[in-house]
């Protein structure tokens, strides 16, 4: 049951039975992400004090080395999940290779692997603009108790058991799905508790916002160019509004609430676009579909793509269903 003012902790316990694979392990895993999110949030919030407290690479007044926030976030998420011994493997956008946890320990009965982008859009930190953490969770495919392998991570997105993001914005929110809709929780920083503030989030079927880095327009495929022109044309409810933060989590979050489309296409500069299938596109696509939205590479459903490498990139079109379908139509016909 969804109850406003429910805390995230209460929600996890009360909804455990509705998880596709009911187990305390997934609950503990989401709890550990909640914990790491709070720690990272505290640090992100202090970023504006960098001139006072010291920049990355400096030593602070306590004699501690200051780290870049994305490195810090990476460490915190990995540490939290490793210390609690609740996953068997982690892959991070910040790491070249996946990390096997307790792989030699035959008592390690953990069945989940996590893929994470610890601080997406981190170039926005310097200018006090929202950034996010994105996570994606799968059941391992290799036998429990054996070391994880690359196969455990290279699964198509439709096999995700949970995914979500944290947006460190004007408020900090944790939004996630376990395949049973999308719910958003807002952090009350005074007491460090996430409350259910956005139950059962849904993309409006149609929207009026398009989010794309138009500075790259000249390099875009013809279908995307045509769609952008369509968005700008005066007809019906158009022209649409252009909004691009340059932080996927924030752009996605706004579009889910207000209705819109996010596009990071391939271009003559990047043949597969920029975003990573496993750390960014799959989790956002899972959330989008769970919220009545859609996600595609222009021609194929994101969640159907079979990954072949950890850091694979794909073109990404995601948002309100009718807008994504319109964009796909332009791409097919170009």
Give whichever of 189 and 246 is closer to Mg ion, judged by the CB atom: 246
Q: Is 249 helix (H, G, I), strand (E, B) or coil?
A: helix
Helix (H) or strand (E) holding 186: strand 182-188
Phi, psi angles (nearest 5°) of residue 248: -50, -45
How far is 209 from 257, CA to CA, in rounded Å? 11
Strand order through the sheet with 172-177: 99-100, 89-92, 112-120, 131-139, 162-168, 172-177, 182-188, 193-198
Which stretch, 51-59, 118-126, 193-201, 293-301, contacts ligand AHM (CB under 6 A)? 118-126
- Please pick, from the candidates 213, 242, 272, 292, the single residue that binds ligand AHM as defined by CB under 6 A: 213
- Output the smallest distance, CB 176 to ligand AHM, in A: 18
- Please pick, from the candidates 8, 101, 248, 314, the single residue that binds ligand AHM as defined by CB under 6 A: 248
Binder of residue 247, out of ligand AHM, Mg ion, none (CB less than 5 to 8 A by kind): ligand AHM
Give whichever of 19 and 220 is closer to ligand AHM, judged by the CB atom: 220
Which stretch, 39-47, 60-68, 117-125, 286-294, contacts ligand AHM (CB under 6 A)? 117-125
Binder of residue 302, out of ligand AHM, Mg ion, none (CB less than 5 to 8 A by kind): none
- Please pick, from the candidates 117, 152, 251, 289, the single residue that binds Mg ion as defined by CB under 5 A: 117
- Please pick, from the candidates 8, 27, 31, 120, the single residue that binds Mg ion as defined by CB under 5 A: 120
Would you say 120 is a known binding-site residue?
yes
The number of residues making up the chain comes to 334
- Please pick, from the candidates 121, 164, 184, 298, the single residue that binds ligand AHM as defined by CB under 6 A: 121
Q: Other C-beta atoms within 10 Å of 3: how many?
A: 10
How far is 79 from 72, CA to CA, in rounded Å? 10
Helix (H) or strand (E) holding 99: strand 99-100
């Amino acid at each position: 049951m969804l109850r406003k003012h429910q805390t995230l902790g209460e929600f996890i316990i009360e909804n455990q039975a509705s998880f596709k694979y009911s187990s305390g392990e997934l609950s503990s895993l989401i709890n550990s992400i909640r914990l790491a999110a709070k720690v990272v949030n505290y640090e992100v919030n202090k970023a504006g004090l960098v001139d006072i407290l010291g920049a990355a690479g400096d030593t602070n007044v306590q004699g501690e080395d200051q780290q870049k926030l994305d490195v810090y976030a990476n460490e915190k998420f990995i540490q939290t999940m490793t210390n609690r011994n609740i996953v068997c493997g982690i892959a991070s956008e910040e790491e070249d290779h996946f990390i096997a946890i307790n792989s030699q320990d035959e008592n390690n009965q953990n069945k989940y692997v996590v893929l994470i982008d610890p601080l997406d859009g981190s170039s926005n930190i310097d200018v006090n603009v929202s950034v996010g953490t994105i996570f994606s969770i799968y059941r391992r495919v290799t036998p429990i108790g054996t070391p994880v392998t690359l196969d455990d991570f290279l699964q198509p997105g439709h096999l995700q058991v949970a995914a979500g993001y944290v947006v460190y914005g004007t408020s900090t929110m944790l939004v996630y799905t376990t395949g049973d809709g999308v719910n958003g929780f807002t952090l009350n920083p005074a007491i460090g508790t996430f409350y259910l503030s956005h139950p059962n989030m849904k993309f409006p079927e149609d929207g009026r916002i398009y989010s794309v880095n138009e500075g790259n327009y000249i390099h875009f495929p013809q279908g995307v160019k045509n769609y952008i022109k369509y968005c700008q044309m005066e007809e019906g409810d158009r022209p649409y509004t252009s909004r691009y933060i340059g932080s996927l989590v924030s752009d996605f979050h706004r579009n889910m609430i207000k209705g819109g489309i996010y596009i990071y296409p391939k271009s003559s500069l990047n043949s597969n676009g920029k975003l990573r299938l496993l750390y960014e596109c799959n989790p956002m696509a899972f959330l989008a579909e769970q919220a009545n939205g859609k996600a595609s590479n222009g021609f194929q459903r994101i969640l159907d793509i079979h990954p072949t490498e950890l850091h694979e990139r794909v073109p990404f079109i995601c948002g309100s269903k009718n807008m994504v379908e319109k964009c796909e139509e332009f791409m097919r016909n170009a």
